[in-house]
A and B are shown apart, each in its own frame.
Chain A
Amino acid sequence: MNKSAKLPRELKVKPIKNGTVIDHISANRALNVLKILGLPNDKSKVTIAMNVLSSQMKNKDIVKIENRELDPQEVDKIALIAPNATINIIRDYDIVEKGKVQLMDEINDILKCPNPNCITNTSEPVNSKFYVINKKAIILRCYFCDRIIDEKSIEFRI
């Protein structure tokens, strides 16, 4: 058998024509990023790479979404679980916009309060709300019950 012919080919993620590439997502968080973006859906083609080697971090995830440009609010949400992520907006194979995610001061709706006795964990019609107290090492405070949570205890609502 000819060895050289059978060398495994490197898996390459095809460049996309139009859409968004989210790079440098903290390893194994890609699926959470998709959840924040309401993906997958019928309209968008999504490519995911998880736990790939990065020069900057040990391991990272990458998400490519065709034909969708993220709005600032979506970017803000991503910041919460992937604080080092970069957002590249692609038009006609060119990066037209490149930026790092930024954490907002207030996070509404998307998180679950870890305090089981918090009013947000009842059947009341109430959305969760957290204040961002520290952006470097993520620390949040529940607006309702004052519970302090760190990155490890971040839990998303369904």
Chain B
Amino acid sequence: MTFSQKNIISIKDFSKKDIKYILRVAERMEPIARSKETSNLLYGKILGMLFYEPSTRTKLSFETGMKRLGGNVIGFTEAAGSSMTKGENLADTARMVGEYADSIVIRHEMEGAARYVSDLVDVPVINAGDGAGQHPTQTLLDLYTIKRIFGKIKNLNIALIGDLKYGRTVHSLAYALALFNVKMSFVSPKELKMPDEIVHDLNKIDVVARETENIHDVLDKVDVLYVTRIQKERFPDPEEYQKIKGAYLINSELLKGTDLIVMHPLPRVDEIAYDVDSTPNSKYFEQAFYGVPVRMALLKSII
């Protein structure tokens, strides 16, 4: 495999073969991530972390992954909303860190920031989220979670639920799932439907997703409910928002009698009731953990 020195910017840069390779490596990383084995694969290597936006989960999982492999991290996290206001531009900071570190992880609120940095530095760059743009490591860990739980991805029935219009994770995930011939359903209020471009792109590769506003249309058919948050700001009318929120709430009552799994990119607010946490359906904490072996697999492969 030719992953050495490769930039990880968008899931669209990955072929199905690439994805399967990373998922296989992630499986080998799992005992190390769980501290059942130790590793010095990246001993002496340094990961530079440029977090222009706080993202505790993503940052900690990269840090954990790098350290579990015997490497080290440098970098910073800017407080919410403070970036771009002070001093040095992104280009200069990235070039400097590119000289210090063996790879760079960047999270930034501007779309295309990671691609931009990858053109400026000689070390491989990982995109840890660029605004409403791409977040490829999230997609990979989502796929890994599905594969770990079902032993496969192919032919599963997967519903993406919630804000499908603005949620970048569901856009990348839909694209990646399409590579694996899954049966997809898009469940959302009509105001937050999957954008036409994406549906069109999927149709072009002969993937037809079922679209509905009603969660009950899919409940008894799906293996995976992938839940995303519907933000209040999307609805000017607070009453309308309350209604929508109620219609898309996932609770243990709703899941009773099903054996589907519930996934969520986290953090959740109130779209999944706490009473789901203790059901066998809930897999979102496990999913969050899988961020570590998947990011280890990427780090090991590119550095």
Contact = CB atoms under 8 A, between A and B. Distances in A.
Interface string B174-203: 000000000000000000000001000000
B197 A125 contact: no
Contacts of A148: 197
B111 A119 contact: yes
Interface string B145-184: 0000000000000000000000000000000000000000
A124 B10 contact: no
B112 A120 contact: yes
How extensive is the interface on chain A, given as a class? 10 to 19
A117 interface: yes
B45 interface: no
Of A119, A125, A144, most buried by chain B (CB within 10 Å of CB) is A119
A93 to B, nearest CB: 48
A143 interface: yes
B117 to A, nearest CB: 9
A123 interface: yes
Interface in A123-147: 123-126, 142-147
Contacts of A32: none
How extensive is the interface on chain B, given as a class? 10 to 19
Contacts, number: 48
Contacts of A120: 112
Given A145-B133, A146-B10, A148-B197, A119 B89 contact: no
A118 interface: yes
B112 A123 contact: no
Contact of A117 (B89, B90, B91, B110): B110
9 contacts: A119-B110, A122-B110, A123-B89, A124-B90, A125-B89, A126-B91, A144-B111, A144-B115, A144-B116
Interface of B: 10, 84, 89-91, 108-113, 115-116, 130-134, 197
